[in-house]
Amino acid sequence: MTIHPARAVAGLALGAAGFVVGVAALAVVLAKLLVNAGMPAQPADVATLNDVVAVLPFVVGFAGLNLVAAAGLVLGSDWAQRLAVIVASAGVVVGAFGLFLVVAGHDPFATGASARAYTDGVEILATFTVTYLVVLGLVAVARQPIRRFVRGAA
Residue-by-residue DSSP string for 17-80: HHHHHHHHHHHHHHHHHHHHTT----HHHHHHHHHHHHTHHHHHHHHHHHHHHHHHHHHT-SSH
Instruction: Name which of 1, 12, 9, 16 is nearest 141 in CA terms.
Output: 9
117/123 Cα distance (integer angstroms)? 10
pLDDT at 107: 73
Contact 12, 84 (CB under 8 A): no
Q: If we measure between CA atoms, which residue out of 138, 51, 121, 136 comes closest to residue 90? A: 136
**What pLDDT is stored for residue 24 in this prediction?**
94
Contacts with 39 (C-beta within 8 Å, 6 or more apart), sequence order: none
Give pLDDT, residue 148. 66
Q: CA–CA separation, 113 vs 104, rounded Å?
A: 19
Each residue's pLDDT tens digit in the chain (154 positions)? 578 889 999 999 999 999 999 999 999 999 999 999 999 999 888 998 999 999 999 999 999 999 999 999 999 888 999 999 999 999 999 999 999 988 888 777 767 777 788 888 899 999 999 999 999 999 999 887 766 666 666 5
| Alpha-carbon distances, residue 4 vs 7, 72, 88, 99 (angstroms) | 5, 13, 18, 32
d(CA 135, CA 141): 10
Enter the pTM of the model.
Answer: 0.84
